[in-house]
Homo-oligomer: A and B are copies of this chain.
Amino acid sequence: MCVPGDRPGRTTGGEALGSERRREREKEQRRSAILRAARKEFFEKGFRSVTVDTIARRAELSKGAIYLYFKSKEEIYAQILLRDIDKFHDRVETLLDTSKSASDNLRQYADVYAAFFLSDRELFRIFMNFMLQHNPVNFTPNINDHIVKSTNQTVIIIEQILQMGVNRGEFPPDLNIRVCRNALWGLLNGIIALHIFSGREETREERVRTQLREGLEVFIKGLRAV
């Protein structure tokens, strides 16, 4: 990296000392600090009403510095979502337990699903938006695909559980899995959405869980009786 007017023999070569590792590390830490700060902001106020300035202030940086690490406000948001979605994906992926009944698996699924979204309401909004095919933030195609794929995966798990129930004779053999899957998924999201979008902020988790369980039991009973 030399400028034309350099004095000869005074160029800055590639770093030989151990400081490059340190700088790499510190850069990564700054990046994380921004994401941490932004996450808090986004999940407190939602995408629109958060300003880059407040993120910067929370991360104890200037606005300009934010743009050294991310190329837009959208990108920050996307990065946070990707991280959270992957976390959720991991949780859900290891959920299927073949040693238990299909019904118990459905109950377990509902628990994990509710716990995750009740701890991150904003994340639930985004998921909903993606599922319903109208996203408010314009992500790059790559990111879009990733989110869509991950969200779809959660639905597929329900399908797998239902299939397991059919194979074992727990549910009737002529069960329309596709329809039931959508119905159950709608049930879960409906109850959660009801509370999250109700306007009142102080939704108690326990109450949502109880409702979910009750709804689920009705659903399972229905499944068996088809």
Q: List A1-50 residues whose CB lies under 8 Å from chain B.
A: 17-19, 21-22
Interface centre among A19, A21, A22, A57 (most CB of B within 10 A): A19
Number of copies: 2
Q: Which of B17, B60, B61 contacts A57 (CB 8 A)?
A: B17
| A212 contacts chain B at the CB level, 8 A cutoff | no
Min CB distance, A49 to chain B, in Å?
A: 20
Bound complex: CA A22 to CA B29 (Å)? 14
**Which residue of B is nearest A23, CB measured?**
B60
Bound complex: CA A21 to CA B62 (Å)? 12
Closest CB pairs A-B (n = 4): A22-B60, A19-B60, A18-B60, A18-B57
Interface of A toward B, CB cutoff 8 Å: 17-19, 21-22, 56-57, 60-62
